[in-house]
Amino acid sequence: MALLTLLEPVRFQEDIKKSRFLALAAPVDSAEQALQFFQENSVADATHNCWAYKIGAQYRFNDDGEPGGTAGRPILQAIEGQDCDRVAVLVIRWFGGVKLGTGGLVRAYGGVAAQCLRLADKRELVPMMRMRCRCAFGELALIQSRFETFAVQVQDEQFDSQGVVWTLALPQDKSADFQQAFINMTRGQGECVPLQPVQ
């Protein structure tokens, strides 16, 4: 099952029984980024700023004073229900005087979060592998000409007296083929070793 992330931040607003709910969702790469997103977008004079994020196996949620399990968890379930990852969702509520009850809160928070994510433009998350590769100057152009074929991203490039050392990121499912091609292009003289999957 392919996981999806958002291409850009998105917002959705809905009034439910006189309470106004504003959902904001954004792509994030770390817990720090998610928490920064919540901090920057929370509204101090709103009744509640409830949120959740999911980044791989990491997740957190916050009910911000709503009854336990009625806000943050439904937002997280909306993220998981849409097969999203590396996503942060903040739902801001302005209380309108009518109590929704616990079931109503779960439906409201989960519903606006899910609708917000449905509106977002998404892209598939491709599992990536990081590799360190070394080759001589004479093979540099040949190897670079194959980067596009294997969807290689250059993360770091260092030159020394022997040639170049790259830190590369590429889709995991292409890494073994790239490694073999690299060995062939350098006639076994180059070095190309996997470092670790990119989180």
Structure tokens at 129: 């592998």
Q: Is 75 left (phi over 0), alpha (psi -120 to 50) or beta?
A: alpha
Question: In the prediction, which pLDDT does 198 show?
Answer: 60
Are 115 and 144 in a shared domain? no
Are 108 and 55 in a shared domain? yes
Backbone angles phi, psi at 145, to 5 degrees: -65, -15
Are 118 and 134 in a shared domain? no
Query: Distance between alpha carbon 135 and the CA centroid of its chain, in Å?
Result: 33
Are 23 and 114 in a shared domain? yes
Structure tokens at 119: 């509106």
Are 106 and 144 in a shared domain? no
DSSP 84: B
Strand partners for 174 = none
Question: In the prediction, which pLDDT does 127 show?
Answer: 80
Structure tokens at 162: 């022997």
Which residues constitute the domain of residue 102? 4-124
What total number of domains does the chain contain?
Answer: 2
| Backbone CA torsion sign across 174, 179, 180, 181 | positive
Q: How far apart are CA 160 and CA 182, in angstroms?
A: 19
Reported in sequence order, the residue ranges of the chain that DSSP labels E, i.e. its strands, are 4-6, 10-16, 19-27, 48-55, 58-62, 87-94, 122-124, 128-136, 153-159, 163-171, 191-198
Are 154 and 112 in a shared domain? no
Predicted confidence pLDDT, tens digits, the chain (199 residues):
578 999 999 999 999 999 999 999 999 989 999 999 999 999 999 999 999 999 988 999 999 999 999 999 999 999 999 999 999 999 999 999 999 999 999 999 999 999 999 999 998 887 888 899 999 999 989 999 999 898 888 889 999 998 999 998 888 888 889 999 999 999 999 999 888 666 5
Question: In the prediction, which pLDDT does 32 show?
Answer: 95
Predicted TM-score (pTM) of the model is: 0.71
* Exposure string over 152-186, b if 16+ CB within 10 A, otherwise e: beeeeeeeeeebbebebbbbeebbeebbebbeebb
Q: Residue 88: helix, strand or coil by DSSP?
A: strand
Provide the residue count of the chain.
199
Are 108 and 151 in a shared domain? no
Are 107 and 140 in a shared domain? no
CATH number at residue 83: 3.30.230.30
Question: In the prediction, which pLDDT does 120 show?
Answer: 94
Are 107 and 183 in a shared domain? no
Are 80 and 141 in a shared domain? no
